[in-house]
Structure 1
Amino acid sequence: MARTVSATGLGRRLAPAAASVVLLWAGAAQAALTDTLCIPSGGAALAAYPSDEALRQATAAAEARLAQRGADDPYAEIAPVLELSGSVGARPSARAVSEYCAAAGELMRVSVQGSQYQAQTYLLGAFQAASAAGLNRPASLAAYRLGLVSLSGSTASGTRGGARRGVRGAAAAVDEVRQQTAAVTSGPCDLLRNTALLINANLGVSTASLACAAEQARLSGDERTAALADLRLARLRLAVAESDAAGAADFRRQAGEAASSGLASAHRLADPALRAEVLGRLAQAALDARGLAAAPEVAHAADAIRMAQPDGPAAQAVAAALEARVAFLAGDVARARGLMDAALLAESQRDLPARLPEWRLLLAEMDPDHREAHVLAAYDALEAVRPLLPRFDPLTEETAFSLYMRRIFQSAVDVQLAGAVGAREAIRVRDAQQIVEAYRQAELQSVFGSECIPAREPLTPEALKAGEVLLYPILLPDRLELLYVAGGAGGEARFRRLPPNRAIDRQALSRLVERAVLSLSYGEDETWRPASRQLYDLLIRPIEGELAEGSLLVVVPDGALRSLPFAMLLDGQDRYLVQRSRIAVAPALAYSQAGGAGQDERLQLLAASLELEVRVPAGYFEKLEGTANEAKVAAVADGQRIERARLIENFRKADLVQALTREQVNVLHLATHASFNGRSDRAFIVANGEVILLSELRQILSANRTRGDELDLLVLSACETAVGDDEASMGLAGAAVQAGARSAIASLWPVNDAGTAELMKTFYSLYRDGRSKSEALREAQLALIDGGGENAAPGIWAAFTLLGAWR
């Protein structure tokens, strides 16, 4: 995993971070300037500083370009603007510093070359400088941007062979938010003013930053920032309430308070279109949080929305939908349905009726006798608009998937499976599986962008051989569903549905996965064992009869299951699942194929390693130990380099380009830091003095390949995925697809050098001898188990997972 200095540890590790992490705008001199000005609590003094005027001009130019940014990365244009030299002896004013650092932090937040850690650090520094000087408007801007950084993904990191760091799952994050709330009595900004209180929780940083931004914005009269901060805060707290039953009432109350405050600010927005849009979203959040108690302020908002845009179909549709929800909550179902019909009619007149699916779903709640028809109409409407939706909402930067899609997909799967009885069962299960597959594809494309991972021809049930079983776990809000298909039936193969398990729901199962993975990967206790047995009983025991010794299980995971190493699940006899079956993970059938029968005789391998510390704009990466030996394991046998294998130590991007251009490589082994957490478009591997984005790696791999001639296997042995973060946990699955590989083997958490080298040595020996990828990995894992000692622990061998093609 990429070993950056984790931003989630600001409180405990900020001082060493300030000393050791530098941003390489254009060399050490600029890094010293930026770090000194923007590191929270100051930094070492400089001999000379830029003048206030120089900082203001650079800030204005940077902000103007940031405001105009589109799909292109603005780094190359903005970074030089922020490169300033010292000309005066006095430190610049607090206003000039805070505004400059807010621009620098925003660049790091939005750029694919940026760093989550640097963005958080600079924005926190900007806030503290502004707050100390009583500058409310710059403080609110910095705090709002800081909240968006923390919402955009995990910055937790680890290092191979070292202890894991960062957020310890969603449950821990929620607990830490409660602790932070209890620790501060005089306002949300206290957490940002007092760095020592910032503990390891992106969720805590987000809630504190957004609440602080709203408070500071109102003090300065910046109603736009206040309303948007409250909107994001309300939606964030509602999301937490859904995942935390124990604290749901408190989080909904807090969400309602944020929505109410935001509505007051939104009413004062000058721009009519913006006023109508923000009022509509905040009113929806108020209803979600407070129900009928929010009716008076929602009615006021609906009137204001109509007045803001009297001729606009979008505004009229939103106002009618809000009034429909209030009427339904009040028990006036007939009026509610009439208003929803009006909302649907007005929305359908828009060029992009993005809310049509959501409101058809609302109509399903109001008309339960025809729920199935309404839900399926909502799904059809979503499929019509989905290709046209932007990846991110331009107002709040939330993903279109979270705003418009998730509930529609889940509801459509729910009604299809609910109707899977009697003679209709086979058809309904087939339709449900197709919706689930579209759901998985939409999730991946939402995270990575459809242009980065275009769909392929999906794997079909008839392509499965005897002994190969495909499992679709579906985590629904009220139950666990399992669909599966067993191979060997040819054209008769079809998905089957097991009885739904209503004893567990999505939230409870996610907590179970979290307990298992965190206990196992941190290696601090044995609580993974009971959790592992429970997960086996829930997920595997229902299909145990299909899994003969040495069979293959392919899992298309949902939600938290993406971070679960299925190999370590324990049956009733305390046997690991890997001792029964080979295992592979498929992010979606459209991105997976079975692969060939085995590797061919023309196998060409390239192994590249890095054992240097690296400082780049994305952060600071510690020196890795043992990666060179690991790469040699892949490329060398009995002291001799294997024919058609090449080894590159401390590689650069140019080395990869040259090697991949010269030869058709089938297997690429990268023993270096790899980062998949945080924003997906900045997923990268670390080379000597630079990073290589996975999108760049795909271009490098495809530049000299003919159509259909993909990289067969990508091995990433020093990486880590986030636990408790559904989007971040897709990073590893999407990495293979995004890099253009048929399959990948990667670690879910950091593993020591000895364990990694031993497993890889056995894997490559077996793979070169003709074993399939799934066979070679399983036998390598079994060899560690049977060998005893430290490497027999599942925290070593279970970290490695096979994604994609298994043959």
Structure 2
Amino acid sequence: MTRGRAVAKLRMPASGAMAVFLAAAVVGEAKAALSDSLCSPSGSAEVRSFPSSESLRQATALTETRLARRGAADPFPELATALDPPVTNAGRPSPAVLAEYCAAAGELMRISPQGSQLQAQAYLLSAFQIASGAGLQATASVAAYRLGLVSLSSPTVAGARGRRGVRGGTSAAVREASVAPGAGPCEVLARPAVLGATNLSLSVASLGCAADQAMAAGDARTAALATLRLARLRLAVAENAGEAGDAYRALAHRDAVEGLSIARGVPDPALRAEILGRLASTALDARAAPTPELAAAAVAIRAANAGAAAHSYAAALEARLALAAGDAAAARRLLEDALVHESQRDLPTRLPEWRLLLAEADPQNREAHVMAAYEALEAVRPLLPRFDPLTEETAFSLHMRDVFQSAVDVQLAGAEGGTQQLRVRDAQHIVEAYRQAELQSVFGSECIPVRDPLRPETLAAGEVLLYPILLPDRLELLYVTGGNGGATFRRLPPNRSVDRQAVARLVETAVLSLSYDEDEAWRPAVRQLYDLLIKPVEAELAPGAVLAVVPDGPLRSLPFAVLLDDQNRFLIQKTRVSVAPSLAYTEPGSGDTTRQQLLAASLEMEVRLPAGSFEKLEGTGAEARVAAVADGERIARSWVIENFRKADLVQALTREQVDVLHLATHASFNGRSDRAFIVANGEMILLSELRQILAQNRTRGDELDLLVLSACETAVGDDEASMGLAGAAVQAGARSAIASLWPVNDAGTAELMKSFYQLYRDGRSKSAALREAQLRMIESGGMNANPNIWAAFTLLGAWR
């Protein structure tokens, strides 16, 4: 049996989404929720009794009104009851009433942390199919648009320990989405197996269909938004699509240009100007050559007469067109105008972007303009929403990433002569701010426990901290070694033979090959990655050393322990390895191995939840007992909870001071943290709830020293989704975490955990105990020597 996060079955849970949450404390089967009965694809045909049409209309109107003015509070508790009106044996409601109801229920599921993305997909697909079948193009377009956003917001498969997902990664998703379906996007959504498609394929079809249906219904607003989001999606995919990148950029350009004519029909002037500006920018990002449609878009933006924001966008667009035409002087004048008008806005979010453009138009003063962009970003960053209200992209990807990368670039480009040490120090500070901003943007600053940042001068002899920096044109390595009295970061010569995309492709090849254990493609990939990342600092890794890596982007999903040197020795055979999401959210640790009070919680039963159906597990109970046993005897101060509930964790952590928490269950730690969860008996525990539970434990003493998560998987090919594992550990508030990056068989997990806990209790540090446990498996030969098993486990955070 395998374990880890995999594709959950796409059958709807018997208890139903609404019923589970309304009766979470009830054991056993709850009554089927109305939304399940009416909105599961093809499910409503079997329903014989319905609420009145008026009650469904009222429920829909209340939900849509509440969602339109949603704030920080989760609307789920308020609206779940409203969406479950009593059945009155009335006749079947009209398709219009049913479709609008299911579209509202699906949107609630989509946006609520307590909602299920699987359920949202099912409800919205049902809404689309009902509306489409009845010729209700306006409702069908809204349902399709929302369906497209579901797949973009987070992974839609539930975390399921015990099964593997479909072999994937960016390359596979791109190949599937690139296959011509031989049908229009709306026809794709009518296919019975559409929910089994990759998120990318489903999003492309849904957004394309939404635009088509909205145009047919005369709804320019929804059509323009769907086209903008589709163009932005294709452009984002192009960044990591390898050979398919050019094709995706061409599609993004086509969509953006077509969207310009659609956006002209948006009634609201301010929204019309905003969408026109974003479409034009996307077209230029996809292909720099100007087209007549883009110049006309600038005129239309000005004609909208929508104030400083529109004037700013129009001037910046005209500047980009001038720059593309080779008129740098005109571009500079227009950008100065754009900056003046942008500064007049209450929240001048585009100041950093316009200053980056000015750096392009004025290369002689590039550094000054880039650093001005960085300072402007630092001023507005605390005020930016986590997700853009128009496209739901993260604020980090939309406003921050390019500025951070450019600031690091100019600092390192000027790191020569007497200024080198100062420049490298400043670049490292920017990189650290970069890592923190990304974590906070994806997971929310309110979700991340505050820590005292790790200071390089606190590193001990033999401890090496490595910052790989993946830039569009090169790989940079910064590092610092402890115990030499200096503790200053040093820069290695930049490697221009690779860039961010090349490294991302190597990581994807290695991780997919290792996790599925079907071929040897991982060997040349990890060999190249060793040469790129480790060989330049190899001399610093003396026997007994510790290498702590602060990974960038795709490197977060890489098991560094498995990297191979030119003697075919794994990195873990040379040194201990730890991963740190950022210096602000990690620390070396105290080295105190006396803190051994342990709580192990396991789940072996089948569980049905809104997030999916989770099969019965075997081996998790034994794994929990292994964690609590030494030499055949239960260790003192340990507790084991089988088939645990949330209340069991609360009670145990309230009653006792726990140092080590071991969770052996299904889990999902990918994507947005507000939907990350672990599965308990009859319920799921949101990661944010787990953090609150652990916070209560910390009030009585030190924070949790070690969190072991043997049921998770890190996404490959998506920078933000690949933060899931690091984010889970950081958000939970533990000093350290040990987690699996992909599904591992129960026997291998049990063997590694048995060795780890034995060594840890014998006084080894966390990094030393994990390393020796992995070495034992390598040296044992047989199945456990396969890196598919031992390399899956990684240490995050404190290593001492």
TM-score category (smaller protein): over 0.9
Q: Supply the distance in 1 between the matched residues of 2:12 and 2:628 (Cα, whole angstroms).
A: 40
Q: Supply the distance in 1 between the matched residues of 2:611 and 2:12 (Cα, whole angstroms).
A: 15
Report the equivalent of 1:671.
664
Q: 1:314 to 1:664 in 2, by over 3 A?
A: same
**1:5-154 correspondence to structure 2 within 5 Å:** 6=7, 17-18=11-12, 22-25=16-19, 26=22, 31=32, 33-42=34-43, 45-88=46-89, 90-154=91-155
Q: Supply the distance in 2 between the matched residues of 1:407 and 1:290 (Cα, whole angstroms).
A: 17
Q: Supply the distance in 2 between the matched residues of 1:709 and 1:123 (Cα, whole angstroms).
A: 46
**1:74-473 correspondence to structure 2 within 5 Å:** 74-88=75-89, 90-156=91-157, 159-162=160-163, 164-166=164-166, 168-179=168-179, 182-185=180-183, 187-196=184-193, 199-294=196-291, 296-309=292-305, 312-473=307-468
- Say which of 545, 552, 556 aligns to 1:558: 552
- Say which of 738, 753, 756 aligns to 1:760: 753
1:337–1:363 contact (8 Å) kept in structure 2: yes
Q: 1:769 to 1:630 in 2, by over 3 A?
A: same
Q: Supply the distance in 2 between the matched residues of 1:661 and 1:197 (Cα, whole angstroms).
A: 46
Report the equivalent of 2:570.
576
Offset, 1:156: 4.2
Q: Supply the distance in 2 between the matched residues of 1:66 and 1:3 (Cα, whole angstroms).
A: 34
Gaps of 5+ in 1: 8-12
Offset, 1:255: 1.6
- Give CA deviations for 1:199-236 in whole Å, capped at 9, x if unaligned: 54211111111111011001111111111111111111
Instruction: Provide the secondary structure at the position in 2 that maps to 1:447.
Output: helix
Per the normalisation by structure 2, the TM-score is 0.95
1:550–1:581 contact (8 Å) kept in structure 2: yes
Instruction: Provide the secondary structure at the position in 2 that maps to 1:484.
Output: strand
Q: Supply the distance in 2 between the matched residues of 1:715 and 1:44 (Cα, whole angstroms).
A: 45
- Say which of 653, 675, 682 aligns to 1:682: 675
2:508 corresponds to 1:510: no
Q: Supply the distance in 2 between the matched residues of 1:432 and 1:565 (Cα, whole angstroms).
A: 26
2:600–2:639 contact (8 Å) kept in structure 1: yes
Q: Supply the distance in 2 between the matched residues of 1:272 and 1:646 (Cα, whole angstroms).
A: 63
Q: Supply the distance in 1 between the matched residues of 2:177 and 2:212 (Cα, whole angstroms).
A: 18
2:161–2:665 contact (8 Å) kept in structure 1: no
Instruction: Provide the secondary structure at the position in 1 that maps to 2:54.
Output: helix
Offset, 1:750: 1.3
Name the amino acid aligned to 1:145. Answer: R
2:778–2:784 contact (8 Å) kept in structure 1: yes
Q: 1:290 to 1:786 in 2, by over 3 A?
A: closer
Q: Supply the distance in 2 between the matched residues of 1:800 and 1:480 (Cα, whole angstroms).
A: 26
Query: Alignment identity in percent?
Result: 70
Which moves more between the two structures, 324-333 or 142-151?
Answer: 324-333
- Give CA deviations for 1:68-87 in whole Å, capped at 9, x if unaligned: 21111111011111113433
Q: 1:203 to 1:579 in 2, by over 3 A?
A: same
Which moves more between the two structures, 787-796 or 438-447?
Answer: 787-796
Report the equivalent of 1:748.
741
Which moves more between the two structures, 90-99 or 590-599?
Answer: 90-99
1:462–1:487 contact (8 Å) kept in structure 2: yes
Q: Supply the distance in 1 between the matched residues of 2:222 and 2:700 (Cα, whole angstroms).
A: 49
Report the equivalent of 1:10.
none
Name the amino acid aligned to 2:593. Answer: Q
Q: Supply the distance in 2 between the matched residues of 1:499 and 1:115 (Cα, whole angstroms).
A: 47
Gaps of 5+ in 2: 24-28
Q: Supply the distance in 1 between the matched residues of 2:538 and 2:477 (Cα, whole angstroms).
A: 13
Report the equivalent of 2:782.
789
Name the amino acid aligned to 2:295. Answer: A
Q: Supply the distance in 2 between the matched residues of 1:637 and 1:651 (Cα, whole angstroms).
A: 22
1:154–1:725 contact (8 Å) kept in structure 2: no
Offset, 1:90: 4.8
Name the amino acid aligned to 1:798. Answer: A
1:233–1:258 contact (8 Å) kept in structure 2: yes
Q: 1:55 to 1:184 in 2, by over 3 A?
A: farther
Q: Supply the distance in 2 between the matched residues of 1:227 and 1:708 (Cα, whole angstroms).
A: 54
Offset, 1:287: 2.3
Q: 1:458 to 1:3 in 2, by over 3 A?
A: closer
Per the normalisation by structure 1, the TM-score is 0.95
Which moves more between the two structures, 662-671 or 280-289?
Answer: 280-289
Q: Supply the distance in 2 between the matched residues of 1:441 and 1:532 (Cα, whole angstroms).
A: 27
Report the equivalent of 2:534.
540
Offset, 1:50: 2.7
1:5–1:620 contact (8 Å) kept in structure 2: no
Q: Supply the distance in 1 between the matched residues of 2:329 and 2:374 (Cα, whole angstroms).
A: 24
Q: Supply the distance in 2 between the matched residues of 1:404 and 1:426 (Cα, whole angstroms).
A: 29
Q: 1:642 to 1:723 in 2, by over 3 A?
A: same
- How many equivalent residue pairs? 792
Q: Supply the distance in 2 between the matched residues of 1:203 and 1:319 (Cα, whole angstroms).
A: 32
1:652–1:688 contact (8 Å) kept in structure 2: yes
1:3–1:158 contact (8 Å) kept in structure 2: yes
Offset, 1:259: 1.6
Q: Supply the distance in 2 between the matched residues of 1:69 and 1:757 (Cα, whole angstroms).
A: 46
Offset, 1:803: 0.4
Instruction: Provide the secondary structure at the position in 1 that maps to 2:608.
Output: strand
Which moves more between the two structures, 237-246 or 28-37?
Answer: 28-37
Q: Supply the distance in 2 between the matched residues of 1:766 and 1:482 (Cα, whole angstroms).
A: 33
Name the amino acid aligned to 2:433. Answer: A
Which moves more between the two structures, 781-790 or 190-199?
Answer: 190-199
Report the equivalent of 2:26.
none
2:513–2:521 contact (8 Å) kept in structure 1: yes
Q: Supply the distance in 1 between the matched residues of 2:197 and 2:15 (Cα, whole angstroms).
A: 18
2:725 corresponds to 1:732: yes
Q: 1:597 to 1:521 in 2, by over 3 A?
A: same
Q: 1:232 to 1:90 in 2, by over 3 A?
A: same
- Give CA deviations for 1:547-590 in whole Å, capped at 9, x if unaligned: 12231110000111100011111111211111111110000000
2:595 corresponds to 1:597: no
Instruction: Provide the secondary structure at the position in 2 that maps to 1:243.
Output: coil
Q: Supply the distance in 2 between the matched residues of 1:716 and 1:636 (Cα, whole angstroms).
A: 18
Instruction: Provide the secondary structure at the position in 2 that maps to 1:195.
Output: coil
2:673–2:687 contact (8 Å) kept in structure 1: no
Which moves more between the two structures, 215-224 or 458-467?
Answer: 458-467
Q: Supply the distance in 2 between the matched residues of 1:637 and 1:265 (Cα, whole angstroms).
A: 68
Instruction: Provide the secondary structure at the position in 1 that maps to 2:445.
Output: coil
Q: 1:306 to 1:30 in 2, by over 3 A?
A: farther
Q: Supply the distance in 2 between the matched residues of 1:566 and 1:365 (Cα, whole angstroms).
A: 37
Offset, 1:407: 0.3
Offset, 1:302: 2.3
2:160–2:667 contact (8 Å) kept in structure 1: no
Name the amino acid aligned to 2:181. Answer: A
Which moves more between the two structures, 283-292 or 785-794?
Answer: 283-292
Name the amino acid aligned to 2:792. Answer: A
Which moves more between the two structures, 770-779 or 700-709?
Answer: 700-709
